[in-house]
Amino acid sequence: MNASVSRRRFLAQGAGGLSAVWVTAHWPALLAAATHARQAAHSAGLAKFEFFGADEAKEIDAITSRIIPSDETPGAHEAGVVYFIDRSLTTFGVDDQKTYREGLPELQARVAEMFPGTSKFSALMPEHQDEVLHSFDEQSQRGRQRRFRSSPGAQNFFETLRQHTIAGFLIDPDYGGNRDGAGWKVIGRAREHIFQPPFGYYDKGYPGWDVAAKEEIEEAEKK
Amino acid sequence: MTVNQPKYKTSDEVDFVIVGSGAAGGVLAKELSSNGFRVVVLEQGPYLTEADFTHNEIEILTLDKLTNHPKLQPTTVRKTPDEKAKPQRALVYGRCVGGTSVHFTANYWRFHEIDFIERSEVGSIPGASLVDWPITYADLEPYYTKVEWEIGVSGLAGASPFDPPRSKPYPMPPLPVKSSGVLFERAARKLGWHPFPAPMAILSQPRPGRSACVQCGFCLGFGCEVGAKSSSLVAAIRVAERTGRCEVRANSYVHRIELDSNGRAIGAAYFDEKRNTHLQKAKAVVVCANGAETPRLLLLSASKQFPDGLANSSGLVGKNLMFNSGGTVTGVYAEPLNDYKGYCVSRVLHDFYELDKEKVGFCGGGGLDARYDFTPISFALGGIPPETPRWGKEFKATLAHNFTRTMEIFCHGTSLPVENNSFSLDPDLKDAWGLPALRLTYKDHPDDLKLSNWLLERAHAVHEAAGAVKKWSFPAQEQQFGVHLLGTCRMGHDPKSSVINVDHRTHDVKNVFLCDGSSLVTSGRGQPTMTIMALAFRAADRITALAKRGELSA
């Protein structure tokens, strides 16, 4: 991997998703959105969708649930990812509205094509849902090393939704997704804001640089 | 913003107008205002403080809250001068008060003696425009010490046998080691190498108004909420403001240096937040806009007197760009490292800083560090093994297992200067203000790619010796994107082969000074900000001396 790219992968890369207009003037909107999303996240039952219709929300929720499924641990559904995406599309992610408006019907057409009799993704069996998504993923194989912002025209609905799902699942819960810290529980990230050593398994009992250096040099000399 | 800031009128000719408030601009503002001069700092980005910094990955990853925005300031990219450049993101730099030092990793080792005299040591390299610096490590040593003590660098003097001589120890001990650092340290010693605690511009002990690092884990890419990261914002700009002689004017995008009929600079023209134009008058202009925007500003300032761009009689403004070379090997271990906690890098090694060109078959050198620079979203998008599915049950299971068990070994190395590698003005594309966009031309010198692959092999060996369960990397590729922006207005004695002299004064315009990554003559072995700050401290001394001798007055 290219050195600078690997170093700053998160700032610079991109295939689809999470692209957004950013100008100073959008600050108040973003802050309002974050507040709104946080409230929505904290009052799941009452939250209303602002961008999606109820049917669309059901479809998006079903897709995100295949991207990060629920099993013994919570998935995208429990983390309220569909609410995060809904808020995103009316605030910092307005540029992606078109991708969703055009992409969801395309995906539903693919559903009908592959499984005649329904055009609802959410009505399919999970394994059939995965087949539909694989059919889109194959078209975006270029995506593995390209993250976030894409070159114009390279976005596609599935890749955008995949990245939005990851963001909604793993963002710091203070910023309107990852309801109840569900995503962080899954990956084992503690919620504390401040940490102290020892941090992990391998730095427990570390004797300090001077001692470690001396011990290991002596050991090397013995050999 | 602090209480004592003066408000200078644009018509009030201040002593210095400084363009940019990053690593170099902040230090120059601090030093020059402390020396009694009246200073205006023009920063294109907003004035954000600790209260504005968050752990919101969306703001950082997609909204560019702290960095240049690719839609407002688009760029184009090509490999060689005979190609037409295509729109593509070419660079990231800090665009807020404090510049890139607000969000950087904060690796802060000094360049070594070799970096200043490499041309004399290794001879001519085909395809490279490698030259010696006009100054040596010894000239810069006192200023490296100043950075460590005044800005705040933690580290352990004498821990690396390869370190250059120093006049003083670090002002504070290294930060606590991470699991990645312990694995790296033990493995590297097994291999006979010499790992040492990473020197970091992050406080391990509190200072007035600044907390020691609290190990929150949102470091690279993020602003520090407790002032522990030794950015120009907290460590230099605030000192400048306390003198009562320095005004920091944010949201001020400088687009032209104006001259009088005698070819002297009279000040800097800029757009304010509402895109109205102003001219801040000054006795001298100090450009610290970074290695891309500094040459761009000179090229934008072309005039009848300077048709090829201001201070560009050498034709070298924007050229000899260096990004640094390198790469990453990612590894997964059996037990949780929990490296998401805390700052990024706790151990480094410099055994490969100087390599024998005849033996390895290329010119260059570098080092390795143990790091974890992921946050949860960036990990899910870029931290898992390449063959892992990108969604679904196995994807989720991999995230759940690997997030706490992953570490990276990052290779950092030289880029050889190549004259064609450059930032210039794109002939077609404009930014949101209607100014010509930056155009990147870059093709790595073949030795840089050989070095990167050579270092990647050593990084694999460290993971192997540390007992990694799994590891992977990608072969070095030609770079088309940079964050270290170096060499584009190089320093030298000869006006024909350099842009600035040893005082950072442009050879062509006596009251225009340049100081930032553009001043560097060689790339070092990565991590250039420490050297940029040291140069800024030194430049401030030189400029002060010139001003006191009356050399800056008309």
B282/chain A closest Cα distance in angstroms: 29
Residue A179 lies in a domain: yes
Cα B98 from Cα B100, distance rounded (Å): 7
Average pLDDT over residues A210-221: 76
Residue B1 has pLDDT above 80, yes or no: no
Enumerate residues 6+ apart whose C-beta is below 8 A from B553: B283
Find the closest chain A residue to B415 by CA distance: A3
The range of the structural domain enclosing residue A187 comes to 3-193
Residue A46 lies in a domain: yes
ipTM: 0.94
Tokens representing A78 are: 């429990």
Per the CB < 8 A criterion, the answer to whether A143 and B390 are in contact is: yes
Residue with tokens 């295509």: B86
Question: Are B404 and A187 within 8 A, CB to CB?
Answer: yes
Question: Are A201 and B179 within 8 A, CB to CB?
Answer: yes
Average pLDDT over residues B263-289: 98
Residue among A6, A10, A144 whose CB faces B327 most closely: A6
Question: Are A171 and B452 within 8 A, CB to CB?
Answer: no
Question: Are A148 and B326 within 8 A, CB to CB?
Answer: no
Residue A214 lies in a domain: no
Tokens representing B288 are: 């610290």
Look at residue A134 in the predicted model and tell me its pLDDT.
Answer: 86
Tokens representing A165 are: 């799902």
Look at residue A92 in the predicted model and tell me its pLDDT.
Answer: 85
B182/chain A closest Cα distance in angstroms: 6
Residue A60 lies in a domain: yes
Contact of B74 with chain A, judged by CB distance below 8 Å, is answered with no
pLDDT in tens, A65-86: 999 999 999 999 999 999 999 9
Cα A84 from Cα A161, distance rounded (Å): 12
Tokens representing A28 are: 């108040």
Residues in B touching A181 (Cβ below 8 Å): none
Contact of A12 with chain B, judged by CB distance below 8 Å, is answered with yes
Torsion angle defined by CA atoms of residues A130, A132, A138 and A144, in that order, rounded to the nearest 10 degrees: -50
Quote the CATH superfamily of domain B12-104+109-152+231-319+487-554. FAD/NAD(P)-binding domain (3.50.50.60)
Which residues numbered 158-197 in A keep a CB inside 8 Å of some CB on B? 162-163, 165-167, 169-172, 174-175, 183-184, 186-190, 193-197
Closest CA to B42 of B90, B8, B4, B2: B8
Number of domains in chain A: 1
pLDDT in tens, B330-389: 999 999 999 999 999 999 999 999 999 999 999 999 999 999 999 999 999 999 999 999
Per the CB < 8 A criterion, the answer to whether B282 and B14 are in contact is: yes
Residues above pLDDT 90, as percent of chain B: 97
pLDDT in tens, B113-154: 999 999 999 999 999 999 999 999 999 999 999 999 999 999
Q: Which pLDDT band, with edges at 50, 70 and 90, does A93 fall under?
A: confident
Residues in A touching B63 (Cβ below 8 Å): 20, 22, 30, 92
Cα B204 from Cα B218, distance rounded (Å): 16
B4/chain A closest Cα distance in angstroms: 26
Contact of B480 with chain A, judged by CB distance below 8 Å, is answered with yes
Which residues numbered 245-274 in B keep a CB inside 8 Å of some CB on A? 251, 273
Per the CB < 8 A criterion, the answer to whether B522 and B366 are in contact is: no
Tokens representing B72 are: 């407002």
Residue with tokens 């849902």: A129
**Report field, pTM of the whole predicted structure over 0.90:** yes
Residue A183 lies in a domain: yes
Q: In three state form, how does the secondary structure of B69-136 look?
A: CCCCCCEEEECCCCCCCEECCCECCECCCCHHHHCCCCECCCCCHHHHHHHHHHCCCCCCCCCCCCCC
Residue among A3, A10, A23 whose CB faces B378 most closely: A10
Question: Are A9 and B381 within 8 A, CB to CB?
Answer: yes
Contact of A94 with chain B, judged by CB distance below 8 Å, is answered with no
Q: In Å, how far are B124, B324, B364, B524 from B118, measured between CA atoms? A: 10, 15, 9, 10
Which residues numbered 173-202 in B keep a CB inside 8 Å of some CB on A? 174, 176-183, 185-186, 189-190, 192, 196-197
Residue A103 lies in a domain: yes
Look at residue A159 in the predicted model and tell me its pLDDT.
Answer: 87
Residue A135 lies in a domain: yes
B536/chain A closest Cα distance in angstroms: 25
Residue with tokens 């924007």: B318
Residue A9 lies in a domain: yes
Question: Are A12 and B396 within 8 A, CB to CB?
Answer: no
Q: Which residue has the higher pLDDT, B233 or A138?
A: B233
Look at residue A17 in the predicted model and tell me its pLDDT.
Answer: 29
Q: Which residue has the higher pLDDT, A104 or A216?
A: A104
Residue B143 CB neighbours (<10 A): 22
pLDDT in tens, B388-405: 999 999 999 999 999 999
Cα A183 from Cα A69, distance rounded (Å): 11
Find the closest chain B residue to A18 by CA distance: B62
Contact of A217 with chain B, judged by CB distance below 8 Å, is answered with yes
For residue B41, list its beta bridge partners.
Answer: B18, B248
Strands B325-332 and B406-413: antiparallel
Residue B56 has pLDDT above 80, yes or no: yes
